[in-house]
């Protein structure tokens, strides 16, 4: 399993629709509009490293409304078990 | 539900143990060691905005091995339903 | 109560009218034109975290004359009592 | 009336006590711990421009726990009337 | 007395005329074309803090040929007496 | 006549004494503590370009309390006549 | 043997075709689309230092779809022998 | 096959020995001391994405003499065939 | 003798002709196309400080194909004697 | 002939002696203390590309008083003939 964290700068007037378009991409697991230097963060999860370029460079980065992206690729996921079990119960610690 | 994406720079010799310590914090949902300017990304999910300062400033940022952190707070989560259902099935698109 | 500090870069010839438009938004409590890298700082105060994206991304950032914004979200407000009592008396210390 | 917005980077383990020390300075009207590049934002309000250097350089920046500060000075305050009347009623718009 | 140091980036082909236009503004005491990241530095001196926004934001920054400006405002002037007596005699030390 | 604008970052606890030490250097015409990235701006005026290295590198930059400096050298002074006549009369425009 | 590592920012919609065009240049030994600030990294290897400007400035940087490039030139290659023997056998260590 | 390009800043007095230590790591295919912001570039090639964290975070980044590293991970390698055949023949184009 | 080191960013497709145009300016002693953030470095040598603004701002920076320049002015030249005797003999040390 | 332009940041109190030490290195043709982000610029000229690492990494960068260096390597020298004939006659144009 390969995880990529894609930070997105979108056109100022189209942030919400760009975030929605990103959220509709099948491998995109989470999409947030965020504070700070970037407008949107999308978390992509793939079963194969070899699909990465097609999904990120070939598809995701071409979405309308995107100005610039920067990707951080996970070297390792530290709590993969938890990710398989979902969220929603007993959150705050 | 409030989501914070915390980017962490760790001491060069202690990246893996710092990531493990972050993954052990209850509200921390995901931890990745990553490529690029930052060493680790931790995703924190809380039921209440008012818990944020205690968890991030009061607890998480004080973990040993951390040099510097920067937090992006989600304005909005675009696929919250999916997050409640977990991952692991039918990933690649 | 949620506070966001929105730093704004405006078009060089329209800084004053942009600041006035920001000041007219109901949740915007304070607007300053400022020295340094940014032109305007707007302080937004909301009763609910869930209104944040609508107010900041959906409304405020779309104001004409804005070129770029960056938001710092308060983890915590350290003198909230004072904020409820207003300013204007016994300022300098 | 002169307003200064002081952004503060604090020692990682002392952010909360530094914020409290800042909030105790008489001319400091608001203190927030914040997301992003800076740790704390303090808003200083003075009746006289001539007091600024004493308050900011001579007092505030010398508080223990501070690593670095950067000040934005307001050229103009766009809703000064409102600031004299306090907050707390009818926030969200 | 309030002093503002305004750093100016001008259009590459119009640096000299922009500097001349800045030098013609009454409150502008000194104008230099300079080496480094900025093209021009203008030093503005005003008797009243309240005139600052009108002079800098409302007038000076709107001069033709300017691309970008950044202002440093003086907290304090350390040799104000000397400034009242002029230059030109016994310079080098 | 050669003018150098020296921006100074000083030790946080010694900004005022560093500014005073700079103001005492004979060729230093103006010293300001300032808002923004730098703490102090010193304006140096020399009759001879050949004295510059001695005054700036050999003397001024060695003053105690200085952490870092950056110098902008004037290519040209646009209102040299005015500088010879002093300030203090009819400031605001 | 002279090696240059050319980092390339490409137009967002044309990253893949730009990478292919770079890979077709004879002296270009390796081309990668990459995570982070840059989109593509191309590694150029030449027998003569004197050919460098023709290949990089005169040819490679003019390829369509390129927005910006930055070149790091190798002072020294630390495992040149290995480079002459090719890859593909006994990779992981 | 997964390729990582690791940029390294080394201690000023130990650049050459650090580069040699990097070149001795089995998965490290190429090491260059380079011009510009970074001192050394190491190119790592692995058969499995899952080995990446062990090799880069667990081993390579812990080499003595390293101050800071930044990794670019290849999304895709555009001329993989050529990499399997080695270099050294018919270089310049 | 005054020396200015002018770093130039040129239009991507016109670097070589821009470098040639710079080399044809009489006071320009050396012109290099270079690796890194800048495209061209031009070294200007003048007998009089007072000619600097005319040559650099008034002439050199207006050359076609230039996008942006930044000038470093020499405080002092440390081996001026050698510069008067020319290069070309006994280079490597 | 290979030319490297080495920008040097030196310890604040040792800029002049560091510049002198650089000027004493045989392949170093020119040394300037300069305005701006860097303190010293040294221009190195070598007959052979292969000597570069020894001279710059192995010798020059190890000089006492240096904090940080960054090297720009010339792709091409645009007026090499002139460099062989020396300076000093008919400078200003």
Mean pLDDT value across residues J61-75: 96
Residue in C12, C15, C37 nearest the CB of E66: C12
pLDDT reading at H49 higher than 60: yes
The answer for residues whose C-beta is within 8 angstroms of residue D52's C-beta and 6 or more apart is: D2, D4, D46, D73, E75, E76
Give residues with Cβ within 8 angstroms of J79, minimum separation 6.
I23, I28, I29, I30, I31
Q: Does E7 touch chain J (CB under 8 A)?
A: no
CB contacts of I80 in chain F (<8 Å) are: none
| Chain E CB contacts of C13 below 8 Å | 62
What does the alpha-carbon distance between residue B78 and residue B74 come to, in Å, rounded to a whole number? 10
In a domain, D88, yes or no: no
The residue of chain J with its CA nearest to that of G57 is J75
Could B36 and H66 be called an inter-chain contact, meaning their C-beta atoms sit closer than 8 Å?
no
Query: pLDDT tier at F79 (50, 70, 90 boundaries)?
Result: confident
J39 interface with E at CB cutoff 8 Å: no
Q: How many domains does chain J have?
A: 1
Q: pLDDT value at position E12? A: 94
Q: Do A83 and B23 touch (CB under 8 A)?
A: no
Q: Across the interface, which of F15, F16, F35 has its CB nearest the CB of D72?
A: F35
Residue H17 pLDDT > 90:
yes
Q: What percent of chain B has pLDDT over 70?
A: 85
Q: Is residue B57, in this structure, part of any structural domain at all?
A: yes
Chains I and F touch (3+ CB pairs under 8 A): yes
Residue F81, pLDDT score: 63
Summary mean pLDDT of chain D: 88
Partners of J46 on chain H (C-beta within 8 Å) are none
Q: CA of J72, closest CA in chain H: separation in Å? A: 6
Smallest Cβ distance to A72: which of B1, B38, B78? B38
Q: Domain containing I38 — which CATH number?
A: 3.30.70.920
* Nearest CA among H15, I33, I67 for reference residue J72: I33
Chains C and G touch (3+ CB pairs under 8 A): no
pLDDT at residue G92, as a whole number: 47
pLDDT at residue B80 in the model: 66
| D83 in a structural domain | no
- Bridge partner list, G9: G68
- The string of pLDDT tens digits covering residues F4-56 is 999 999 999 999 999 999 999 999 999 999 999 999 999 999 999 999 999 99
Instruction: Decide if pLDDT at D48 tops 70.
Output: yes
As a whole-number percent, the residues of chain F with pLDDT over 70 amount to 85
Q: Is H16 on the interface with J (CB under 8 A)?
A: yes
In a domain, I72, yes or no: yes
Stretch 60-79 of chain H: residues touching chain G, C-beta under 8 Å? 70, 72-79
Q: Which of D58, D68, D73 sits opposite F35 (nearest CB)?
A: D73
Question: Could you list the pLDDT tens digit for every one of the 93 residues in chain E?
Answer: 899 999 999 999 999 999 999 999 999 999 999 999 999 999 999 999 999 999 999 999 999 999 999 999 999 999 766 555 544 333 444
**pLDDT number for residue C86:** 46
Q: Is residue E20 included in any domain, yes or no?
A: yes
* Separation in Å, CA of B13 to nearest CA in chain C: 30
Residue F88 lies in a domain: no
Q: With respect to residue F86, please indicate whether it lies within any of the assigned structural domains.
A: no
Per-residue confidence (pLDDT) for residue E91, from 0 to 100: 42
DSSP A24: T
Nearest to E43 by CA among D18, G27, I36, F29: F29
Domain boundaries, position E36: 2-77
In a domain, B12, yes or no: yes
- Residue B1: predicted pLDDT: 87
Query: Which pLDDT value is given to residue F91?
Result: 42
Q: What is the mean pLDDT of chain C?
A: 88
pLDDT tens column, C37-68: 999 999 999 999 999 999 999 999 999 999 99
**C-alpha distance from residue A26 to each of A53, B2, B90, E25 (Å):** 15, 23, 9, 59
| C87–D41 C-beta distance less than 8 A | no
pLDDT, averaged across chain A: 88
pLDDT in tens, I63-89: 999 999 999 999 999 986 655 554 433
* Of residues G82, F49, D90, A47, the one with CA closest to residue H43: G82
């Amino acid at each position: 399993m390969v995880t990529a964290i894609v930070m997105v700068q979108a056109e100022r007037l189209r942030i919400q629709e760009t975030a929605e378009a990103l959220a509709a991409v099948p491998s995109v697991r989470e999409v947030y509009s965020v504070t700070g230097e970037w407008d949107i963060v999308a978390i992509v999860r793939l079963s194969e490293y070899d699909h990465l370029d097609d999904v990120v460079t070939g598809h995701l980065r071409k979405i309308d409304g995107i100005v610039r992206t920067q990707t951080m690729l996970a070297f390792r996921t530290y709590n993969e078990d938890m990710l398989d079990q979902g969220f929603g119960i007993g959150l705050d610690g």
